[in-house]
Structure 1
Amino acid sequence: MAGLLFIIYAAIFSFLILKWKFFNVHGISRRYLLLAFALKLCFGFLLGWIYTDHYTDRKTGDTYRFFDDAQIIYESVDDGLDVYLKLLTGIGMEEDEVAMKYYHRMTHMERSYSEAFFNDNQTIIRANALIMPFSRGNYHVHIAFWCFVSMIGLTAILKVLTRYFPRKRIAMFTAVFLLPTVLFWGSGVLKEPILLLGLGLFFRGIMRFAYGEFKPQNALGFLLGIVFLVITKGYVLFALIPASAGLLLARAFPNRNFWLMFGIPHLVLLLLVFLGPLINPTLDFAQQMNLKQAAFFNVAAESDSGSLLELPSIDHSSDLLLNAPNALHVTYLRPWPWEWTNFLYIPAALENLFLFIALGLMLWNFRRPYGLAVPIFAFGLSAVLVLGVLIGEVVPVLGAVVRYKMPVLIFLFVIIFALTDHVMLQRRFPILRKKLKKL
């Protein structure tokens, strides 16, 4: 019965990909989107298998610990639909003794440490609990749901890219759908599919602002994108603020130099790094990141993490700039191929090999961005730098770095492909032209 249920939902989502107007992407056949969905399902099963056979403690593996807590919420239906709804929404839950009995059975609804952003454990637990009535508690059905959710977000990103890079649509499809890290972490029963949904809706909305195409009917999707980012990975939204503000400022003053307008919010951020502590203690970014780094070290020590990195300390505001090159190295170049110490590093290590090849081809066939491609390039460059520094300076666990950089990897490869002269590349490698024509 469980297998049949998975097939039914996979077929429904496949039908939507083939028929829903949203999945009509310029220059990309729907069959490629369907193949991407099938590939995501395979990676979703792979992630579940790894956490079943190699990381067998369900209380520590993300994919099962949140799923198991969601099952507890679903079981509360036996005591009434109202109990289930209170646990699902949190509204009126604390006043209901029956609901609180179920709440106290859950082990990951609350965190043992505090942080500046929303507790995203609650997001994925309650999201899984929302799916439970449809899945009947079957884990593999959840894989189908989350793969489809992430497909929506990734397709939203691709729709923007193919419009402004029409001659590089295959490269952009690769950057969005075929990166191993995005396939692996973005296809499981985890927080990442919701993050990708939020990122896609937000990116599409902000680009509509940048190109003067935003309409009132686009507001809902844009606002939902912000909400999904806030309730999953708030730090991603924080890292996108300078780029978003820069695009809006450049749009507001179209007759001024684009890079000057785009750079102003980044200059403001840089000034806040140094002057923030003098204005308000809460604006002491160095101290906040130092505390966050220490919290990560403590959690890693408690869990006996085998992939601990030695990061330079963040004692002064100047350290944020001095440590930035090392942070970018940690975020985007680790793990090295010889660091394949466990299954979860293999996708990232393979990806890094692809990264070096792509960088080499870009430098050999370099072409600067121009025209309508510039805003996308600028947004991606800012996201890659800000988020790369944020992750690389704070996160001392290699496994966590691999996972946290997942959303911004898309923009890293978009930048590389945007700077690559595809005409020159095809002249140097005629076989590429023949292969691309077949696609």
Structure 2
Amino acid sequence: MGLQDLIVTPFYFAILLMLAYIIRPAVTSPQTKPYFIPGLLGKFVGALALGLIYQFYYGGGDTFTFHTHGSRWIWQAFIDSPLTGLKLLLSPAGTYDGGIYQYSSKIWMYRDEASLFVIKITAFFDLFTGATYSATALFFATFAFSGHWAMFSVFQKMYPHRTKHLAIACLFIPSVVFWGSGILKDTITLAALCWMTYALLRMTIFNKVTLINLFLILFMGWMIFAIKIYILLCFLIAASVFLYFQYISAIRNPLFKIALAPLLITIFLGGGWLAMEKIAAEDSRYALDNIAQTAMVTAYDIRYGWGARHGDNSGYTLGELDGSIGSLIKLAPQGVIVTLFRPWPWEIKNPLMLLAALESLILLITTIYIFTRKNRFPIFSLLKHPILIFCLSFAVLFAFAVGVSTYNFGTLMRYKIPVMPFYALFLVLLSNRPNPLAK
């Protein structure tokens, strides 16, 4: 970031903020209106702070790989020749011929499909900002906010008496604001995940089966698929379980419920399984036969490869992975705990880990309080409330997935942000009083 950022970014900051004020009446209610502008400003601050931290604390990193050593070369191609720029923008990863070599050869992650997808999105925004890093980051923050606001809005309509706490869960978790606002893969995938959740609940809870909602699920699902397939797989599992309990709980007659249960299992759980198999077939690393091996390779590469190469001292271990499903299952409880509640205070190695540890400690204390208070309810009551099942199943499944496949707190702080709003929503809805699950 440099002088150009100081000139261009304030202009787009003002434009985007003005547009937010214009559209606010159409997307807010009297209850949600107070959170709209603060939520957006929080994302703006998070996006800009991320760039500053990466530049002055880390001295580089993924966000500059996507922009400085990525999208800026596509923007330069457009400046030199719009046709060349368009060809570069539309070319698949690893394409160096056709007059684009002088640009594509300078893009660090040009051979990686997922990274190039993010680079192309960044390049699209660069066309408006003149490849100004911080201004482009504001567009990422705006997209991120749109997803979080959509999810907040749909939950708020279901639980209007919990508006403040829902706003905290969806909009103001510090780690999500920081890691989920700037030019990173995680910003796009989490925003898309929030949009998919919004559309799913609109179609099921509010019976709004519209082309717009169907488009949102397909388009946002495609974006996640292009960047991080495992997020989509976790969502499909949670959504399938949610759909089963949502429709089985709507059947009041016990005999009909028993009779239709196998059919609903086949439709929703079986359909979800087939969808997962189809998606995993596009990347053999996530096929059921290979997923344990993928987790082991990823964990050890981050712990002993990436961490060692970058002098990182924030690694952790849960035990030995041997590439088998059994070793994954054995470490599952530890994987969930490390994602949700660690690092512990004695594991802190740097200022960012201190902030992560404080957030995790607050989450742990809140969890203990909710589950141990006097008017707690039996855990089997969850089966009567599909929304809680959805939030909890996604949070636990994803926490397990990243916890056992990361082995580095620095990386985990970023990877785990999809867990945070869903687990926080689960706690908010669980803490309803006097009836914990009443709307």
TM-score range, shorter chain: 0.7 to 0.9
Listed one character per residue, the Cα deviations across residues 394-436 of structure 1 (whole Å, up to 9, x for unaligned) are 11111111111101110111111111134599xxxxxxxxxxx
Alignment partner for residue 155 of structure 1, among 149, 155, 160? 149
What's the counterpart of residue 317 of structure 2?
A: 310
Aligned CA distance change for structure 1 residues 343 and 130 (closer, same or farther; 3 Å): farther
Asked if 1 retains the 8 angstrom alpha-carbon contact of 2:35 and 2:167, the reply is no
Q: Residue 304 of structure 1 aligns to a residue in which SS?
A: coil
Listed one character per residue, the Cα deviations across residues 51-83 of structure 1 (whole Å, up to 9, x for unaligned) are 222212x3xx11212111211111112431111
Asked if 2 retains the 8 angstrom alpha-carbon contact of 1:27 and 1:169, the reply is no
- Greater shift in the superposed pair: 294-303 or 88-97: 88-97
What residue identity is the alignment partner of 2:314? S
Aligned CA distance change for structure 1 residues 259 and 331 (closer, same or farther; 3 Å): farther
Alignment partner for residue 265 of structure 1, among 244, 252, 269? 269
1:385 correspondence with 2:396: yes
- Greater shift in the superposed pair: 93-102 or 348-357: 93-102
Q: Residue 208 of structure 2 aligns to a residue in which SS?
A: coil
Alpha-carbon shift at residue 48 of structure 1 (Å): 1.7
Alpha-carbon shift at residue 214 of structure 1 (Å): 1.8
What's the counterpart of residue 42 of structure 1?
A: 45
What's the counterpart of residue 343 of structure 2?
A: 335
Alignment partner for residue 293 of structure 1, among 294, 299, 313? 299
The whole-number CA distance in structure 1 between the counterparts of 2:312 and 2:99 is 37
What's the counterpart of residue 366 of structure 1?
A: 376
The whole-number CA distance in structure 2 between the counterparts of 1:354 and 1:92 is 42
What residue identity is the alignment partner of 1:77? F
What residue identity is the alignment partner of 2:13? A
Listed one character per residue, the Cα deviations across residues 170-223 of structure 1 (whole Å, up to 9, x for unaligned) are 101000111111011012222222112211211112223332332223222221
Q: Residue 313 of structure 1 aligns to a residue in which SS?
A: coil
The whole-number CA distance in structure 2 between the counterparts of 1:137 and 1:156 is 28
Superposition map of 1:275-290 within 5 A: 282-284=287-289, 285-290=291-296
- Greater shift in the superposed pair: 170-179 or 4-13: 4-13
What's the counterpart of residue 414 of structure 2?
A: 403
What's the counterpart of residue 64 of structure 1?
A: 64
Listed one character per residue, the Cα deviations across residues 16-69 of structure 1 (whole Å, up to 9, x for unaligned) are 32332696244534342101211222222222221222212x3xx112121112
Listed one character per residue, the Cα deviations across residues 375-402 of structure 1 (whole Å, up to 9, x for unaligned) are 2211111101111111111111111111
Listed one character per residue, the Cα deviations across residues 89-110 of structure 1 (whole Å, up to 9, x for unaligned) are 2169947443122111111223
The whole-number CA distance in structure 2 between the counterparts of 1:92 and 1:332 is 35
- The TM-score normalised by the length of structure 2 is 0.83
- Greater shift in the superposed pair: 18-27 or 385-394: 18-27
1:84 correspondence with 2:60: no
Aligned CA distance change for structure 1 residues 28 and 190 (closer, same or farther; 3 Å): farther
Asked if 1 retains the 8 angstrom alpha-carbon contact of 2:24 and 2:36, the reply is no
The whole-number CA distance in structure 1 between the counterparts of 2:359 and 2:134 is 26
Asked if 2 retains the 8 angstrom alpha-carbon contact of 1:43 and 1:184, the reply is yes
Aligned CA distance change for structure 1 residues 144 and 221 (closer, same or farther; 3 Å): same
Asked if 2 retains the 8 angstrom alpha-carbon contact of 1:226 and 1:237, the reply is yes
Asked if 1 retains the 8 angstrom alpha-carbon contact of 2:43 and 2:144, the reply is no
Asked if 2 retains the 8 angstrom alpha-carbon contact of 1:243 and 1:262, the reply is no
What's the counterpart of residue 281 of structure 2?
A: none
What's the counterpart of residue 249 of structure 1?
A: 244
What's the counterpart of residue 324 of structure 1?
A: 332
What's the counterpart of residue 200 of structure 1?
A: 194
What residue identity is the alignment partner of 1:128? T
Q: Residue 88 of structure 2 aligns to a residue in which SS?
A: helix
Alignment partner for residue 394 of structure 1, among 379, 388, 405? 405
What residue identity is the alignment partner of 1:227? W
- Greater shift in the superposed pair: 101-110 or 251-260: 251-260
Asked if 2 retains the 8 angstrom alpha-carbon contact of 1:245 and 1:262, the reply is no
Alignment partner for residue 216 of structure 1, among 192, 198, 211? 211
What's the counterpart of residue 35 of structure 2?
A: 32
Superposition map of 1:109-124 within 5 A: 109-111=110-112, 119-124=113-118
Asked if 2 retains the 8 angstrom alpha-carbon contact of 1:93 and 1:99, the reply is no
What's the counterpart of residue 412 of structure 1?
A: 423
Alpha-carbon shift at residue 11 of structure 1 (Å): 2.4
Unaligned 5+ residue runs, structure 1?
Answer: 112-118, 274-279, 426-439
What's the counterpart of residue 436 of structure 1?
A: none
The whole-number CA distance in structure 2 between the counterparts of 1:9 and 1:151 is 16
Provide the aligned C-alpha RMSD in A: 3.3
- Greater shift in the superposed pair: 280-289 or 201-210: 280-289
The whole-number CA distance in structure 1 between the counterparts of 2:343 and 2:199 is 33
Alpha-carbon shift at residue 303 of structure 1 (Å): 3.3
What's the counterpart of residue 362 of structure 2?
A: 354
The whole-number CA distance in structure 2 between the counterparts of 1:325 and 1:130 is 42
What residue identity is the alignment partner of 1:366? R
Aligned CA distance change for structure 1 residues 320 and 95 (closer, same or farther; 3 Å): closer
Asked if 1 retains the 8 angstrom alpha-carbon contact of 2:391 and 2:426, the reply is yes
Aligned CA distance change for structure 1 residues 92 and 137 (closer, same or farther; 3 Å): closer
What's the counterpart of residue 75 of structure 2?
A: 74
What is the percent sequence identity of the aligned residues?
24
What's the counterpart of residue 99 of structure 1?
A: 100
What residue identity is the alignment partner of 1:283? L
